[in-house]
Chain A
Amino acid sequence: MTRLIEAKNIGLTLADRTILEGVNLQLHAGKITTLIGPNGAGKTSLVRLLLGLQPASQGELWRKPSLRIGYMPQKLHIDASLPLTVQRFLQLGGAGAAALKNALSLTGIAHLLASPMQRLSGGEVQRVLLTRALAREPQLLVLDEPVQGVDVNGQVALYDLIDRIRAQQGCGVLMVSHDLHLVMAHTDEVICLNQHVCCHGHPESVTSDPAYLALFGAKAAQTLAVYTHHHDHKHNLHGDVVCNHDHSLPLEDCPPAAQKDESNA
Chain B
Amino acid sequence: MPDFMLHAWLAGAAVAVVAGPLGSFAVWRRMAYFGDTLAHSALLGVVFGLLLDVNINLAVTLGCLILATALVLLQQTRVLATDTLLGILSHSTLALGLVSISLFGNTRVDLMAYLFGDLLTADSGDVITIATVAALVLGLIGYFWRSLIAITVHEELARVEGVRVGAVRMLLMLAMALVIAIAMKVVGVLLITALLIIPAAAARRLSQTPESMAVMASALGLVAVTLGLVSSYFLDTPAGPSVVLGASLMFGLTLFKRQS
> Which residue of chain A has the shortest Cβ distance to B213 in the bound complex?
A83
Q: State which of B153, B156, B208 has its C-beta within 8 Å of the C-beta of A92.
A: B153
B27 touches A (CB below 8 Å)? yes
**Interface-located stretch among A19-27, A33-41, A71-79, A224-232:** A71-79
Distance to closest chain B CB from A125 (angstroms):
12
Interface size class of A (residues with CB under 8 A): 20 to 34
CA A69 – CA B157 in complex, angstroms? 10
Interface residues of A in 46-63 (CB under 8 A from B): 48, 51-53
> Which residue of chain B has the shortest Cβ distance to A76 in the bound complex?
B154
> Which residue of chain B has the shortest Cβ distance to A129 in the bound complex?
B157
A81-B204, A84-B210, A92-B150 given; A71·B27 CB < 8 A: no
Q: How many residues of B contact A (CB 8 A)?
A: 25
* Structural contact, B212 and A83, CB atoms closer than 8 A: yes
B149 touches A (CB below 8 Å)? yes
Contacts of A76 in B (CB 8 A): 153-154
CA A92 – CA B161 in complex, angstroms? 10
Contacts of B156 in A (CB 8 A): 48, 51, 53, 71, 73
Contacts of B208 in A (CB 8 A): 83, 85, 116
CA A94 – CA B153 in complex, angstroms? 14
B38 touches A (CB below 8 Å)? no
B159 touches A (CB below 8 Å)? yes
* Structural contact, A83 and B160, CB atoms closer than 8 A: no
* Structural contact, A84 and B209, CB atoms closer than 8 A: yes
Contacts of A219 in B (CB 8 A): none
Contacts of B209 in A (CB 8 A): 83-85, 88
Distance to closest chain B CB from A199 (angstroms):
29
Contacts of A256 in B (CB 8 A): none
> Which residue of chain A has the shortest Cβ distance to B208 in the bound complex?
A83
Q: State which of A71, A78, A79, A91 has its C-beta within 8 Å of the C-beta of B160.
A: A71
CA A136 – CA B163 in complex, angstroms? 14
Q: Which of B156, B157, B160, B161 has the largest count of A CB atoms less than 10 A from its CB?
A: B160
* Structural contact, B157 and A71, CB atoms closer than 8 A: yes
Q: State which of B153, B159, B161, B201 has its C-beta within 8 Å of the C-beta of A84.
A: B153
Q: Can you list 29 contacts pairing A with B, beta carbon distance less than 8 Å?
A: A51-B156, A52-B159, A69-B160, A71-B156, A71-B157, A71-B161, A73-B156, A79-B28, A79-B29, A81-B27, A81-B204, A82-B28, A82-B153, A82-B210, A83-B208, A83-B213, A84-B153, A85-B208, A85-B209, A88-B149, A88-B210, A91-B146, A92-B153, A93-B150, A93-B161, A94-B146, A94-B161, A94-B162, A116-B208
Distance to closest chain B CB from A122 (angstroms):
16
Q: State which of B28, B149, B162 has its C-beta within 8 Å of the C-beta of A81.
A: B28
Binding site for B on A (CB under 8 A): 48, 51-53, 69, 71, 73, 76, 78-79, 81-85, 88-89, 91-94, 116, 132, 136, 142
Closest 8 A-B residue pairs measured CB to CB?
A: A71-B160, A82-B28, A92-B150, A81-B27, A83-B207, A83-B208, A53-B156, A51-B160
Binding site secondary structure of chain B: helix
B164 touches A (CB below 8 Å)? no
CA A71 – CA B208 in complex, angstroms? 26
Contacts of A73 in B (CB 8 A): 154, 156-157
Q: State which of B153, B162, B204 has its C-beta within 8 Å of the C-beta of A89.
A: B153
* Structural contact, A82 and B152, CB atoms closer than 8 A: yes
Contacts of B160 in A (CB 8 A): 51-53, 69, 71, 142
**Residue-by-residue, is B190-225 near A (CB-CB < 8 Å gives 1, otherwise 0)?**
000000000001001001111011000000000000
Contacts of A142 in B (CB 8 A): 160
Contacts of B150 in A (CB 8 A): 92-93
CA A89 – CA B161 in complex, angstroms? 13
Contacts of A84 in B (CB 8 A): 153, 209-210
> Which residue of chain B has the shortest Cβ distance to A116 in the bound complex?
B208
Distance to closest chain B CB from A165 (angstroms):
18
CA A136 – CA B209 in complex, angstroms? 23
B30 touches A (CB below 8 Å)? yes
Q: Which of A48, A52, A81 has the largest count of B CB atoms less than 10 A from its CB?
A: A81
> Which residue of chain A has the shortest Cβ distance to B165 in the bound complex?
A53
Contacts of B149 in A (CB 8 A): 88, 92
Distance to closest chain A CB from B63 (angstroms):
29
Distance to closest chain B CB from A182 (angstroms):
25
